[in-house]
Structure 1
């Protein structure tokens, strides 16, 4: 059985971020979790540090469908459109559907995307802590998570990135359902329908 292993001293922080990410208190410590499907992205043990400075394994995201993408906070062009995409998706959903879906943006630039940098974007864009998570992984894990999500990126000499602009829908168990590369304020209708189908399920 796959289990999240956190130090006892960090358990309070783990519970806090698990709740913020939408996980149940019973799952926060991980010991009661069912085995993960073999094709779940959560097979990768990935610590994430969020916009509030809390760190926990992303397997605490398990339990609700997620719309996941990668971005970096200093991006002036595509990444703001990725945020626009997430907000547009929210606007297409009913309150009940929004309560079942979380949007997760993972940084590809953890060296600069500190909790303060993440928080600045979070606040500037008026994101809802109940529906959004901005987080940075350890630098050594960026390529692994990008590979899992099918996101290509390359850092340029000036510190900027060339990268895939994609939104990935994963189900409550972390299996990839579908993806779209349509970003901006007009969401992909087929992607919205897939999100609604996942939101209608009960894990």
Structure 2
């Protein structure tokens, strides 16, 4: 009986600590049905880190699909992200993530992604360049409304768009106006989402 009392004396404080921690930690609400994060997707970024894209939940994201060897449209997609970023105040920029997802994971390894990030001077605190697992590419493109087709020469025909996700991964705005010219309606939506 004494042994049992010692066990209770040791275990009870630990259980109470766990219960207190569980009560203190806010439970995350289930994802909305229309969240793109309903689709499981694993991404590997320019730093070689692999993560579930649902880890971006909680921070609004401007998302686009691209590939690093693209010489024409994809650099304009990066320009579009930079233009949105520059249109925001420093405080607004700190609350927004920009996620570029490759449609060419076979070639877009962390080294290729990092090369683009460095060449384009993209702030790693806000910009994530990432490749999905090969079997996730179509699903990610589908939920973002991006159409693409690989050509015989290894290039891609693809939709060029920026997609704004709210904190829960719901699509709230989209623009196909790319380049350094801002889409004022898209920027207004970014500001609106950041204000909530």
Find the aligned partners of 2:86 and 2:56 in 1 and give their Cα distance.
22
Find the aligned partners of 2:114 and 2:124 in 1 and give their Cα distance.
11
Find the aligned partners of 1:33 and 1:46 in 2 and give their Cα distance.
19
Q: What's the C-alpha RMSD, in Å, of the aligned pairs?
A: 1.0
Candidates 42, 60, 66, aligned match of 2:61: 66
Candidates 77, 88, 91, aligned match of 1:93: 88
Find the aligned partners of 1:142 and 1:189 in 2 and give their Cα distance.
30
Aligned length: 171
Any idea what SS the aligned residue of 1:173 has? coil
* Ranges of 4+ aligned residues in structure 1 off by more than 4 Å: none
* 1:51 and 2:41 correspond: no
* 1:83 and 2:84 correspond: no
> Residue 196 of structure 1 aligns with which residue?
191
Structure 1 residue 32 displacement after superposition: 4.4
Spell out the pairing of 1:13-32 with structure 2 (5 A cutoff). 32=27
- Give the TM-score normalised by structure 1: 0.83
Pick the structure with greater CA Rg: 2
Unaligned runs of 5+ in 1: 1-30
Find the aligned partners of 2:27 and 2:117 in 1 and give their Cα distance.
32
- Give the TM-score normalised by structure 2: 0.86
